[in-house]
Structure 1
């Protein structure tokens, strides 16, 4: 009944905040976190859409950082939006610069595309470019676009602008947010145990233990590490909505997480 990791069209999701809320209601979700990449612009629409229903919107964000030259994402729950406004404008501008560089690389490779027009507060990402490649007829699917050009170390890939885990955790905590390491076992820049120690030293407060890509052994190890360091445990489907072709990968409420996981996050956020 708890979803603490979901995306909307304000970043790389395919559902608007209103559509996401409707889908969550349909799946029996009682608390839904809006955690778009580097933007909080979808909160208000989601909160308005949720009012007629018995569903709580958890304000959040998924912040993009770089560690050991690899992308590392940090979730932040209950940040103060006024304190985040200026820093996030800088992060979104950086995302646009990165997207334009990838488009330039694709053009040099012989596959020109246009970066889709995005509204105020929307954060561009590789999925937007992948969809442009599909629309241009160069590939049949976004997955193929990633495999050929956009995936890590592929010809059109561009690193995120440097923004360290220390800077990311500091930003979230300075805005009153509870910082949580998102999907640790998707990180390719170091051993989970080593990176977690660095992040705890920087002020990390929780770990996304429950994620569709985590195996049973991953979950057990993360639960042990959370107990060792006294960290909060969170989870979510990392839902991005159906693909443009209508195919749905992860589904809302697929992990059947207890609403009880939310209370410790709320309590910690109140102390920030």
Structure 2
């Protein structure tokens, strides 16, 4: 009944905020986080839709940072909009420059595509779809495997903005910083990265994610409990996809939201 990681057309999702809220309500979700990449643009529409569908909207963001030369994402819950919006605009401009650099690399490799025409900063999923439309690949998975993955020939890292800086930024804006899908990070052993993030003020771990194995969930839950951290989870939903993640697939209890709200009260005091 709880979804704490979802995306809309304000970043790289395929449903508008109101469409996402409706889909979540129909899937039985009672509380939904709008956690678009580096933008808060979907909040207002989602809150309005939430009032119609009896879904509590949790304001959030997924912040793009770098650690050990690899992208590391941080979820920030309940940030103060007026403080976070200006630095997020800088991040958005950086995402545009990154996409332009990846388009240039694809052209040099012999697979030209136009810069995706989106109302927000394009990400790798937008580039993947452009490769499909151009006939260079059969589907988005192939685009990532051949070109856009972290070790792919067209990959360009985010502009330097460390995960430690990201945590500090989120906390300065009254948000609860949570490490998103830590089981997917490949830049350093999990224990080393966790220690560094914890020292910078990390307050939570996204334990429940569709790409986490049972072993990883147990490891992350143990770390969270040992250090008294918030536990979150979600489907990382980007829109309808028969082969992809679906809303409410994690079956998470609303009890997790109580701990998150308590942590927010602590950081915003």
Superposed structure 1 runs of 4+ greater than 3 Å apart? none
Residue of structure 2 aligned with 1:226, choices 216, 224, 227: 224
Aligned equivalent of 2:33: 33
Residue of structure 1 aligned with 2:200, choices 190, 199, 202: 202
Deviations 1:209-260 (A, max 9, x none): 11111111111111111111111111101111124xxx34111000100001
1:13 and 2:20 correspond: no
Aligned length: 267
Contact 1:39 1:123 in 2 (8 A): no
TM superposition score normalised by structure 2:
0.97
1:56 and 2:64 correspond: no
Aligned equivalent of 1:254: 249
Contact 2:78 2:175 in 1 (8 A): yes
Instruction: Say which SS state the counterpart of residue 150 (structure 2) adopts.
Output: coil
RMSD (Å), alpha carbons: 1.0
1:270, distance to aligned residue in structure 2 (A):
2.2
Aligned equivalent of 1:211: 209
- Pairwise mapping of residues 107-126 of structure 1 onto structure 2 (< 5 A)? 107-119=107-119, 122-126=120-124
| Separation in structure 2 between the aligned mates of residue 225 and residue 170 of structure 1, nearest angstrom | 21
Aligned equivalent of 2:78: 78
| Separation in structure 2 between the aligned mates of residue 124 and residue 47 of structure 1, nearest angstrom | 24
Contact 2:29 2:248 in 1 (8 A): yes
Residue of structure 2 aligned with 1:164, choices 150, 153, 162: 162
| Separation in structure 2 between the aligned mates of residue 240 and residue 248 of structure 1, nearest angstrom | 12
Residue of structure 1 aligned with 2:149, choices 151, 154, 157: 151
Instruction: Say which SS state the counterpart of residue 53 (structure 2) adopts.
Output: coil
Aligned equivalent of 2:260: 265
Deviations 1:79-122 (A, max 9, x none): 00100111000000000000000001111112211122222xx2
Which range moved further: 195-204 or 45-54? 45-54
Deviations 1:40-75 (A, max 9, x none): 111111111111111100000010111011111100
Contact 2:176 2:264 in 1 (8 A): yes
TM superposition score normalised by structure 1:
0.96
Contact 1:50 1:56 in 2 (8 A): yes
Contact 1:70 1:188 in 2 (8 A): yes
Instruction: Say which SS state the counterpart of residue 72 (structure 2) adopts.
Output: strand
Which range moved further: 247-256 or 171-180? 247-256
Residue of structure 1 aligned with 2:134, choices 136, 139, 157: 136
Instruction: Say which SS state the counterpart of residue 52 (structure 1) adopts.
Output: helix
Which range moved further: 176-185 or 262-271? 262-271
| Separation in structure 2 between the aligned mates of residue 100 and residue 13 of structure 1, nearest angstrom | 20
Aligned equivalent of 2:189: 191
